[in-house]
Amino acid sequence: MAEALQKKLKAEVDKFTLMQKDVSKSMSARQKLETQLAENNIVKEELDLLDTTNTVYKLIGPVLVKQDLEEAKATVTKRLEYINGEIQRYESLLKDLEKKSDQHRELLSSLQQEYQKAQGLAVGKV
């Protein structure tokens, strides 16, 4: 009885750890997106400040590719939107993961209690 509980407990613990990892991953991704968001906002502002006389280059690997100002602006804007979308997605994902992790946590605690009781009984018996 106790052994079965113990196995069960272990499985549950593993699941819980996995979930926790997912949560942390999503968290970090979201943070990245947030920085990119900030950066792109700055780029947009800068591009707005520039006039057509200046040429804009985009770094693609080791190559600087000449870009049109308007295109650059558009690109940056699109990127920004993309980033925002990504952030929202990640946020929802994070919420789901957190809920799941909480449920799992409760399950784990109950299992732990049962296991302790079983162990206590076993000790008593012994």
Binding site for another protein (CB under 8 A): 36, 39-40, 42-43, 45-47, 49-50, 54-60, 64, 67, 72, 76, 79
- Distance in Å, CB of 12 to another protein, minimum: 29
Task: List residues bridging with 64 in a β-sheet.
Answer: 59
- Distance in Å, CB of 32 to another protein, minimum: 12
82-116 CB burial, b ≥16 within 10 A, e <16: ebeebbeebeebbeebbeebeebeeeeeebeeebe
User: Residue 34 or 114: which CB sits closer to another protein?
Assistant: 34
User: Residue 25 or 79: which CB sits closer to another protein?
Assistant: 79
Q: Are the CB atoms for 113 and 9 separated by under 8 Å? A: no
- Distance in Å, CB of 47 to another protein, minimum: 7
User: Residue 43 or 97: which CB sits closer to another protein?
Assistant: 43
- Distance in Å, CB of 108 to another protein, minimum: 24
User: Residue 37 or 108: which CB sits closer to another protein?
Assistant: 37
Name, in order, each residue with C-beta under 8 angstroms of 46's C-beta and a sequence gap of 6 or more.
none
CA distance 66 to 89: 33
